[in-house]
Amino acid sequence: MPNTTVIADLGCGEAKIARTLTKKKVHSFDLKALNDQVTVCDMSRLPLYRQTVDVAVFCLSLMGTNLNAFILEANRILKKGGLLKIAEVKSRFRNIDGFPKAMKKFGFQFVQKVCLPSLGGGG
């Protein structure tokens, strides 16, 4: 990614993306500010103009009752051809196999799904 890439970390927690990608413009949003890099807001009403972001990221943050509004808001802020990256646990979705089809209804083209093996174990 070029240094001009603009990233929105939606539900950022401690803003790890911003702290890691220091040469990029990263907007970090969450309901609580765990540090000074986080902007407090509702992810369904982001304080960004339309089509200003190259990459929007949901990492373990698609929970709650406003999922549709969160996805629509990500679509609003993404530039044409922008990327939406989602990293979630499978158990948060009723139908993980139907998720790509559902995303098309929000205006997204599905590119890739990667399922990682469970890290839990007996013992």
Domain segments of the chain: what residues? 6-105
**Single-letter code of the amino acid located at 39:** T
The token pair at 3 is: 């240094």
Res. 122: pLDDT tops 80: no
Res. 96: pLDDT tops 80: no
Q: What is the rounded average pLDDT of the residues 75-103?
A: 86
CB 71 within 8 A of CB 77: no
Between residues 38 and 60, the one the model is more confident about: 38
Between residues 39 and 99, the one the model is more confident about: 39
The CATH fold assigned to 6-105 is Rossmann fold (3.40.50)
Find where tokens 């969450």 sit.
30
Res. 52: pLDDT tops 60: yes
State residue 119's pLDDT score: 64
Cβ contacts of 35 within 8 Å, gap of 6 or more: 14, 15
pLDDT band (50, 70, 90) for residue 55: very high
Q: What is the rounded average pLDDT of the residues 20-33?
A: 96
* Percent residues over pLDDT 90 in the chain: 60
Task: For residues 77 and 95, give the distance between their C-alpha atoms in angstroms, rounded to a whole number.
Answer: 26
Res. 123: pLDDT tops 50: no
Q: What is the rounded average pLDDT of the residues 24-36?
A: 96
